[in-house]
């Protein structure tokens, strides 16, 4: 009965969420902490490439233009160093995963405060919220398992129909449908997980990651249009900006001091765009969640439920 008292989503607040996410201290900390796993992966690769190329008389020419023959030789040489590179890649991935709850905790604290926090406050908030965000990350395996299980079922049906198809176009259609099922289910699962994190912004009394995930499912069911529009529109805009910076980086030759600085700037701007997208999406989903939190309070339910 509590949901009968649900108020409408504040569309204006949802629209303002991407602007509210433009907090330079928060974005700076995202950039700095993401440099750690990046450095773990990049530095061993950098040392290997330096050992292969730095002593060549053609090093300057190779730095300014792509050489297909050289590229093939380098790939072959890197294959011989595969064990070390795989180890650094796995370590970097592990650090990135463990860093995720800390970064999410800072974003949650910034969204809950409704104002710009200082660097010390953000760092402290990341530590305080780490446990809850880590549990949300563990609980996120459930919706992802459901999504991939449904996708596996769709691919199984597609394979079965593929064997029965008379025309190749029919078989391709079944495979395309299965791929779209995977995409849709993954988007729904990720929207639930992001809504679970946003629930901590919307309700300061919430402490349980289990309840937060439940609220994520409820939000998708009760506010499907607002939730998915916030998720998809902000994601599309943010990742388009990141892609533009990424393409700019690919077309920039990091030769000389000017080229190196420009390439570095474009790469970091792409990372910042991704970070802004994550934060803006959390803020927008929190505004959607607040409409449901109000209904719980109006129905006399304890704040933490």
Per-residue model confidence (pLDDT) at position 304: 45
In the predicted structure, residue 295 carries a pLDDT above the cut 90 = no
Q: What gap in Å lies between CA 148 and CA 144, rounded to an integer?
A: 6
Which residue in 24, 31, 20 sits closest to 245, CA to CA?
31
Could you report the per-residue pLDDT of 186-204, keeping only the tens digit for each? 999 999 999 999 999 999 8
Burial classification of residue 198, based on how many CB atoms lie within 10 Å of its CB (0-12 exposed, 13-18 middle, 19 or more buried): buried
Which residue in 223, 281, 290 sits closest to 20, CA to CA?
281
Least confident among 24-33, 67-76, 158-167: 67-76
Per-residue model confidence (pLDDT) at position 230: 94
Could you report the per-residue pLDDT of 146-155, keeping only the tens digit for each? 999 999 999 8
Contact between 230 and 283 under an 8 Å Cβ cutoff? The reply is no
Q: Which is it for the CA torsion 174, 177, 182, 188, positive or negative?
A: negative
Which residue in 81, 83, 103 sits closest to 35, CA to CA?
103
The H or E element that residue 303 is part of is none
Tell me the pTM: 0.84
Q: How confident is the model at residue 19 (pLDDT cuts 50, 70, 90)?
A: very high
Q: What gap in Å lies between CA 48 and CA 90, rounded to an integer?
A: 17
Report angle CA 213, 223, 304 to the nearest 5 degrees.
40
Q: What is the DSSP secondary-structure string of 172-211?
A: HHHHHHHHHHHHHHHHHHHHHHHHHHHHHHH-TT---HHH
In the predicted structure, residue 263 carries a pLDDT above the cut 90 = no
Q: What gap in Å lies between CA 102 and CA 210, rounded to an integer?
A: 18
Token output for 193: 């997980």
Per-residue model confidence (pLDDT) at position 11: 84
């Amino acid at each position: 009965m509590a949901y009968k008292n649900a108020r409408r989503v504040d569309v204006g607040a949802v629209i303002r969420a991407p602007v509210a996410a433009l907090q330079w201290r928060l974005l700076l900390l995202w950039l700095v902490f993401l440099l750690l796993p990046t450095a773990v992966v990049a530095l061993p690769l950098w040392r290997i490439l330096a050992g292969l190329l730095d002593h060549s008389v053609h090093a300057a020419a190779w730095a300014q233009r792509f050489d297909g023959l050289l590229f093939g030789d380098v790939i072959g040489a890197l294959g011989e160093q595969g064990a070390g590179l795989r180890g650094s890649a796995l370590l970097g991935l592990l650090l990135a995963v463990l860093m995720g709850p800390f970064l999410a905790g800072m974003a949650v604290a910034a969204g809950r405060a409704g104002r710009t926090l200082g660097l010390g406050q953000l760092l402290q908030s990341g530590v305080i919220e780490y446990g809850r965000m880590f549990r949300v990350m563990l609980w996120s395996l459930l919706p992802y398992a459901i999504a991939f299980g449904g996708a596996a079922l769709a691919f199984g049906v597609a394979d079965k129909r593929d064997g029965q198809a008379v025309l190749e176009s029919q078989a391709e259609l079944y495979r395309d449908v299965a791929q779209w099922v995977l995409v849709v289910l993954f988007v729904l699962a990720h929207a639930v997980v992001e809504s679970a994190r946003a629930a901590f912004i919307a309700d300061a009394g919430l402490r349980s990651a289990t309840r937060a995930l439940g609220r994520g499912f409820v939000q998708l069911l009760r506010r499907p249009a607002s939730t998915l529009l916030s998720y998809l529109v902000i994601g599309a805009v943010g990742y388009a900006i990141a892609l533009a910076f990424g393409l700019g980086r690919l077309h920039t030759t990091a030769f000389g001091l000017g080229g190196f600085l420009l390439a570095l700037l474009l790469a970091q701007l792409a990372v910042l765009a991704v970070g802004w997208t994550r934060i803006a999406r959390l803020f927008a989903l929190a505004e959607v969640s607040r409409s449901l939190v109000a209904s719980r309070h109006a129905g006399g339910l304890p704040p933490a439920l």
